[in-house]
Amino acid sequence: MDLKKIAFLLAVSTSLALAQTATVIQADKSCEPVKPGCTIKYYVRFDGDPQLNSLTAYFNLQGEQQPNQGGLTNGFQIGGDANKLEHGLYEVSSLAPTNAATGEWLLVWINAGHRQEAKRYDFPSQLQNRIVFKLVNDAGYDFPPIKSVTNNLPK
């Protein structure tokens, strides 16, 4: 078999492996509500047994940020290196970031990587189960109102 055919078969098999569906299962619920520094952990089960080297989960804040948390993030990801537990089952986890705003957080996509190839599984089209968790962050600052602005030094 020549190199072109081998490369083609590898590309097709990689595409088929990444074209599978994924189911996400929430893991540890001992840290609820989630606070910065708590471990956020989910299990991702694939149809079949993909060989992944990376796996990340991305979350978006639902609704508006609290007025005193304007500098905190409204989106973050967890994971990185793929942690395969068994046939078709992976764990994705990280610590909750210190700069995440208080509120309800929705899992919006999973990104799976195989060598240089990657596939993004979006909610709700490819991730059927809706994963939401509550995060409480005590960080914030209440800025005082501005009294005045002038181009002359006030007396």
- When comparing pLDDT for 96 and 25, which is higher? 96
pLDDT tens for each residue of 41-95:
999 999 999 999 999 999 999 999 999 999 999 999 999 999 999 999 999 999 9
Domain boundaries, the chain: 21-135
Backbone dihedral angles phi then psi of residue 15, each to the nearest 5 degrees: -60, -40
Which range, of 10-19, 24-33, 66-75, 98-107, averages the lowest pLDDT? 10-19
Cβ neighbours for 86, distance < 8 A, ≥ 6 positions apart: none
Pick the CATH number of 21-135 from 2.60.40, 3.30.2170, 1.10.10, 2.70.98: 2.60.40
CA distances from 37 to 74, 79, 107, 137 (A): 17, 14, 18, 10
pLDDT tens for each residue of 84-134:
999 999 999 999 999 999 999 999 999 999 999 999 999 999 988 899 999
